[in-house]
Structure 1
């Protein structure tokens, strides 16, 4: 799973396609970390925006291309600024394609 700024999402998607990623789940989310929120002015009143818009990408890949995916995301998403996001790598115990019954690597 990867959380990143909305601004560089297209670059990441295109780079992942170039390394062979053909499917992913993308969700627009809100959150904060070290970046915290920020103050905005609306109709003369200041208010705190605690949660910032991000994109969550979920990709399930075979073990042999995990590092390629991670490297690709870092290369295309990294700006060096707070808020670049995080990458979480999880083990997936089992994958089943409902339509065909295929399992594990065959179902990815």
Structure 2
């Protein structure tokens, strides 16, 4: 059974494009954020952080979903887990990825 079937993404509802196909990414980003926030094992939380960082760096839809849901989670990591270097680094790198525009056009190097 597909966990994301029937889910209307937060970004889709906010921007009125729930049929755009981005709801799968919205749901995936939401699950990763939930694991980061509520995961019991620190290794699972670190893995989710790395995966979130990767998907946000590669997808504009994931960036939008992260923007709608992820900033409070990352700020919580920075405030409450400042002694965990890996989590803080992951949070900062994810924030940078979320704020960096993705240019899918290949430009020749000058």
TM-based fold match above 0.5: no
Greater relative contact order, per chain length (Cα 8 Å cut-off, separation 6+):
1
- Higher helix residue share: 2
TM-score of the superposed pair, with normalisation by structure 2: 0.30
TM-score of the superposed pair, with normalisation by structure 1: 0.30
- Higher strand residue share: 1
